[in-house]
Amino acid sequence: MPEINKSNDQLLQDIHNSQAKPTCSECGTYEPWGLSSWCPKCGYYPALGKCVGQTELEDQVEIKPQPQTVWEIIPEWGWILGFGTIAAIGLSIGARYYCSSAAELCLWTITQATVGFLMFMIAHMIVYLNAVSKSVEFGILSIFLTPLKIWGPTVRRFPAGAWKLDMAVWGLTLFISAFAIVGGFEFNSLFKDWGVRKSANVNLVATIVDQAKNAEGDGADNLEEALDDFAGGSEETPDKMAEKAAAAAGAAGGALPEPEPEKEPEETATAPLQEYDCLLLGYSALPNGKIDSVLIASSYNKKLVYAGYIIGSDLPEDIRKEWESRLPELRQKKPFVKNKQVATWIKPRITLKVAAEGWNEHSRRLIKPQFVSLLQEISVD
């Protein structure tokens, strides 16, 4: 009997000792393991020296701070895309104010639209090839039928590959802005004067050359003297000629050439305008140097004759300013073609195309000549 009591006391002591120590050295639990070789609470396995099965579940995910301002909400690639788009629009606005003619606007529009279209298509093709390499559902027609769908694989990889979206959006912006902002796209302006002037017709040039040769045959020492001899008139200096022109302009109340009395035929309707190639003979200017009128000559029955004048205010502004600085350098004492007008005469260099209702058979002058365009300059030296 004493032995049984002693055994019971030993068993109770063992139970007490086992309960006093934790069953798991990893998590310190007193929960019994039963027949398991690992802790039922944390999965600690003493034989391996680590927790098994629950390690990944117990790892805490790092919590990132939430963005608070717009600068943090928009990603970096979004800012790059936005600034590039604004720059493309700004470029179009600058081109609109920089180009001064319809031809320049047309050229800029075509160039910008072409560059924008190529940028968009290159980016679109790269995205298409990337989509085809990842899925068999895309075909060649997907480029046109489902353009947004083929961008799916690229967009899902953002921010990697964001430069493709940048190129496409910037190119599309350039293309649209070329027509919507730059504007001025006129097909007719493609065929206007781009700085390459046409030559005067053969008849006018031949008439000028023949007249110069005839003047040379009069025994003059040089071409300028020959032209002076051919033109005839008093040997007045340029200053005297200018004083005479100013006096005549003051007497007439203006600087326009003095018209000669002529008998105009009766006209029942306005005649259609015809174009004629002419030579610039001289000009009259106001005291401030502004051109008041220019005198012209043209070929009439294969002979170079004085054909009338064009009022300075009817000339294009750029042409008038160019002539105001250029014509004084070409001044000579006498007119290349004999006439009774008073003006500052210039050497036979500048040719131009004019439009008129035709020739007046009585005065042998063009009826209401109007400036059309400049032609190539000539030289008879």
Q: Which residues does 6 contact at the CB level (< 8 Å), separation at least 6?
A: none
Predicted TM-score of the model (pTM): 0.41
What pLDDT does residue 17 have?
Answer: 56
| Rounded CA separation 293/21 (Å) | 121
What pLDDT does residue 6 have?
Answer: 63
CA dihedral 18, 19, 20, 24 (to 10 degrees): 80
CA dihedral 92, 94, 96, 102 (to 10 degrees): -110
H, E, C per residue of 291-347: EEEEEEEEEECCEEEEEEEEEHHHCCHHHHHHHHHHHHHHEECCCCCCCCCCCEEEC
For the stretch 96-142, pLDDT in tens is 888 877 777 888 889 999 999 999 999 888 988 888 887 777 777 77
Q: How confident is the model at residue 250 (pLDDT cuts 50, 70, 90)?
A: very low
For the stretch 74-107, pLDDT in tens is 888 888 989 999 999 999 998 888 887 777 788 8
For the stretch 188-246, pLDDT in tens is 444 444 555 677 676 788 788 877 777 665 443 444 444 444 443 333 444 444 455 44
